[in-house]
C-alpha cells in the first residue's frame, strides 16, 4: 500500500468474472494490502486474512444498518416500500455480540434436528431419476434441483414456491450483499424481499424457531429474516460449490476416475479440497474494534477490511500447486467457511452434500461430455462466484 505497485484489484477488468484468480495471485505477490476508492482495506494473503477471521478484536459490519443509511437515497421518488433493512436485520453473518451468540445457538439447534444424511441421499436419488432420460443438460440446473430438493424438505415452502421462484429469491438475496450494487438493483431486490414473504409455509422449521426463541421480542419480520437468510445461505453457496466442483471433475478424466473408485475416506479428503478450490464466498468483511498493525502497517479502529478468502485459499505459501485440485491433500487449512465466532453454521451440511452426493452424481454424469460449443456463463457477482450455465451432452 505504498503507492508504488501498479497491480490493483479491479473487478471491472475484462474477463474478471470468468477467472479472478490470476489477479488474486498478482495481488498476493506484488500488492497484498490495498486501499480502494471507498477507504476499504483489501487483504489477499493467507497470513493476513486467517488471523483476522479468528480474532475477537474484529467484528462484522451490519448489513441492516448499512441499508437503513441508504434507504432514503434508494427509495427517493420511488413508490416501493423500503424493506431491505427489515429483511436483513437478523442475518447471522452481519450480527455481533449477544444477539449473534443466541441466534447462532438457536439456529444450530433447529438446523441439526434434521437427518441430513437421509435427506441428502434421497435428494441424490431423486435428482438422478429426474434427469436420467435427458440427452443434454446444464450442470447448474442439476445442482439447483438437488439443493432445492433438500431445502424444501426441511425449511417449509408453499406449494407455489417453485424451483424457479426459489432460485430468483436466493440469487437476488445474495446480490444484496455485494458491493457496487446499483439503485435499480436494490429496488428489484427490495421488491423480491416483499414478495418473498409469501414463499414460506407455517412449517415445522418455523415452529421450532419460534419455540427456541421464546422469551425474545421477535416480530413476524424477524422470523422472516431468519427464514430468508437460511434459504439464501443454504441454496447459493451449496449450488455454487456443487456446480463448479462437478464441472471441474467432469473436465478432468483423472479426477473423474478418482471419484468413481474412491472410498469414503478419500471422498472426505476430496470434499475439503473441492471446497478450498471453489471457495464460493470470495470475500468477507471485518471491522477492527481497536487500532491494529498488519504486516507493519497501522490501521485505526473502525477500519473496514475486505478479506480475500478465495485468494487466501490459493496462496502458494500455504498450499502446494494451489490452482489444482489435489485429491490427496492431507493438510488443508482452508478458510472457505470463515473462522472464529462467525464460522459458517452450515459447514457440516455443505460437507455432507459433497460426501454423500459426489460419487453417485459423477457415476451418473460420466455418460455426458462437456459441450465445448457452449461457453460457460459466469455471474457478475464479486462476493460470490457463481457459474450460471455449464452445458453437457450425452455421449
Question: Checking phi first, is residue 302 left (phi over 0); if not, alpha (psi -120 to 50) or beta?
Answer: left
Closest CA to 332 of 352, 313, 353, 309: 313
Q: Is residue 6 part of a domain?
A: no
Q: Is residue 7 part of a domain?
A: no
**Is residue 338 in a domain?**
yes
Total domains in the chain come to 1
List helix spans (H) across 84-219.
84-88, 97-111, 116-131, 139-154, 163-175, 183-196, 204-212
- CA atoms of 256 and 152, how far apart (whole Å): 30
C-alpha cell at 81: 416500500
Residue 3 pLDDT exceeds 60: no
DSSP state of 180: S
Q: How does pLDDT run across 373-393, given as a tens digit for each residue?
A: 999 999 999 999 999 999 999
Mean per-residue pLDDT, 125-131: 97
d(CA 334, CA 71): 37
List the alpha helices (DSSP H) in 4-115. Answer: 21-30, 46-54, 63-74, 84-88, 97-111
The pLDDT of 172-195, averaged and rounded, is 95
Range of the domain at 242: 21-394
Section 109-114 average pLDDT: 94
Whether 14 maps to a domain, the answer reads: no
In a domain, 268, yes or no: yes
Share of the chain above pLDDT 70, in %: 99
pLDDT at 2 over 70: no
Name the DSSP letter for residue 199: T
CATH of the domain at 59: 1.10.630.10
Task: Identify whether 87 is part of a domain.
Answer: yes
Q: For residue range 55-107, list pLDDT tens digits in order.
A: 999 999 999 999 999 999 999 988 889 999 999 999 999 999 999 999 999 99
343/346 Cα distance (integer angstroms): 9
Tens digit of each residue's pLDDT (9 = 90 or more) over 14-68: 999 999 999 999 999 999 999 998 899 999 999 999 999 999 999 999 999 999 9
Contact, 381 vs 175, CB < 8 A?
A: yes
Any domain includes 4 = no
- Work out the average pLDDT over 259-275: 97
Write down the mean pLDDT value for the chain: 95
pTM of the full structure:
0.94
Whether residue 15 is contained in a domain is answered as: no
Amino acid at each position: 500500500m505504498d503507492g508504488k505497485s501498479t497491480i490493483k484489484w479491479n473487478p471491472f477488468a475484462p474477463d474478471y468474472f470468468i477467472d479472478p484468480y490470476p489477479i488474486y495471485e498478482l495481488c498476493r505477490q506484488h500488492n497484498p494490502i490495498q486501499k480502494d476508492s471507498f477507504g476499504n482495506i483489501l487483504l489477499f494473503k493467507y497470513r493476513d486474512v486467517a488471523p483476522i477471521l479468528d480474532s475477537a478484536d474484529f467484528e462484522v459490519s451490519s448489513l441492516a444498518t448499512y441499508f437503513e443509511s441508504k434507504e432514503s437515497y434508494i427509495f427517493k421518488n420511488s413508490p416501493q416500500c423500503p424493506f431491505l433493512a427489515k429483511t436483513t436485520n437478523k442475518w447471522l453473518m452481519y450480527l455481533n455480540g449477544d444477539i449473534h451468540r443466541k441466534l447462532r445457538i438457536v439456529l444450530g439447534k433447529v438446523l441439526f434436528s434434521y437427518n441430513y444424511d437421509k435427506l441428502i441421499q434421497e435428494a441424490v436419488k431423486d435428482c438422478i431419476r429426474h434427469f436420467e432420460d435427458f440427452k443434454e443438460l446444464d450442470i447448474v440446473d442439476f445442482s439447483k434441483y438437488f439443493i432445492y430438493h433438500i431445502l424444501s424438505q426441511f425449511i417449509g415452502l408453499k406449494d407455489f414456491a417453485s424451483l424457479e421462484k426459489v432460485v430468483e429469491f436466493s440469487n437476488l438475496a445474495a446480490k444484496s450483499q455485494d458491493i457496487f450494487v446499483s439503485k435499480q438493483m436494490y429496488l428489484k431486490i427490495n421488491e423480491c424481499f416483499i414478495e418473498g414473504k409469501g414463499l414460506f409455509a407455517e412449517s415445522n422449521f418455523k415452529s421450532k424457531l419460534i419455540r427456541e426463541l421464546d422469551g425474545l421480542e421477535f416480530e413476524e419480520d424477524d422470523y422472516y429474516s431468519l427464514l430468508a437468510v437460511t434459504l439464501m445461505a443454504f441454496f447459493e453457496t451449496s449450488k455454487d460449490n456443487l456446480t463448479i466442483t462437478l464441472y471441474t471433475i467432469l473436465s478432468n478424466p483423472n479426477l473423474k476416475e478418482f471419484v468413481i473408485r474412491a472410498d469414503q475416506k478419500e471422498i472426505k479428503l476430496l470434499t475439503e479440497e473441492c471446497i478450498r478450490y471453489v471457495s464460493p464466498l470470495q470475500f468477507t468483511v471485518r471491522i477492527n474494534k481497536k487500532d491494529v498493525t498488519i504486516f507493519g502497517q497501522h490501521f485505526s479502529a473502525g477500519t473496514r477490511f475486505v478479506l480475500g478468502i478465495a485468494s487466501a485459499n490459493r496462496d502458494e505459501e500455504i498450499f502446494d500447486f494451489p490452482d489444482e485440485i489435489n485429491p490427496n491433500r492431507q493438510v488443508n487449512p482452508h478458510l472457505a467457511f470463515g473462522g472464529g465466532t462467525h464460522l459458517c453454521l452450515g459447514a457440516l451440511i455443505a460437507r455432507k452434500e459433497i460426501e454423500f452426493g459426489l460419487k453417485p452424481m459423477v457415476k451418473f454424469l460420466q455418460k455426458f461430455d462437456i459441450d465445448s460449443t457452449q461457453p460457460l456463463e459466469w455471474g457478475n457477482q464479486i462476493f460470490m462466484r457463481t457459474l450460471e450455465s455449464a452445458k453437457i451432452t450425452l455421449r
